[in-house]
Amino acid sequence: MGLMLAFKAFFKALKDPIKAEEFVSVKKIESKAQESGEQPSHLRLLHLLQQSSRLIDFLKEDISNFEDAQVGAAVRKIHEDCSKSLEELVSIRPVMEQNEGEKINVPQGYDPLKIKVMGNVKGEPPFVGILVHKGWKVHKRSLPKKAGDQLTDVICPAEVEIR
């Protein structure tokens, strides 16, 4: 099984060397962060969103027994708090400024990390298509280096009230 997996990984990397390089780079960064005791940024972000708006609590909650109005009221507050925290920590902006549903031109030499061309793609760019999703890119990063004395695998500690 290991040999087959190695062959699959090799041919995928051969087919898309850019994605393979990104994957290897991310793994190196994550392993260096874990060796140094530094928490990876995605876990810090989860920690901060949990701390500010209880996002993980909401996502892990079974909401099937709640009325739509109850879910809607909870979502409104979580949305507001998460949006505010996200903007403070990692400002995100659209990749494309046009409106979704608008006709756009994808130029020759476009960056495939910024634009994903889908559908009936034939030939070489430039392409003309309909914008399905604007995409998102990081505008500003301001995540703190470490969220307290948090362990790398604990996003949020259990809370116990002593009475």
Number of domains observed in the structure of the chain: 2
Q: Residue 158 falls within a domain, yes or no?
A: no
- Nearest residue to 131 (alpha-carbon basis) of 97, 95, 101: 101
59 and 124 housed in the same domain = no
Residue 52 shares a structural domain with residue 40: yes
- Identify whether 125 is preceded by a cis peptide bond (ω within 30 of 0): no
* Domain shared by 122 and 70, yes or no: no
Say yes or no: 101 and 78 in one domain. no
Tell me the two tokens of residue 7.
């062959």
pLDDT in tens, 139-154: 877 776 664 554 457 7
Note whether residue 138 is domain-resident: yes
C-alpha dist (Å) from residue 162 to 117, 149, 158, 159 = 56, 22, 13, 10
* Containing structural domain, residue 54: 11-91
Residues 18 and 67 in one domain: yes
Q: Clarify whether residues 118 and 57 are in a common domain.
A: no
Tracing tokens 């990692």 back to the chain, one arrives at 90
Same domain as 37, residue 25 = yes
* 160 within a domain of the structure (yes/no): no
State whether 79 and 123 are in the same domain: no
Mean pLDDT of 17-30: 62
130 & 80 share domain: no
Q: Identify whether residues 109 and 58 lie together within a single domain.
A: no
Residues 83, 102: one domain? no
Asked if residue 18 and residue 75 are part of one domain, the reply reads yes
Residue 38: predicted pLDDT? 59
3-state helix, strand, coil in the chain (%, to 5): 45, 10, 45
pLDDT at 39: 59
Mean pLDDT score, 40-45? 79
- Report the alpha-carbon distance of residue 23 to residue 12 in Å, rounded: 12
Query: Residue 31: helix, strand or coil by DSSP?
Result: helix
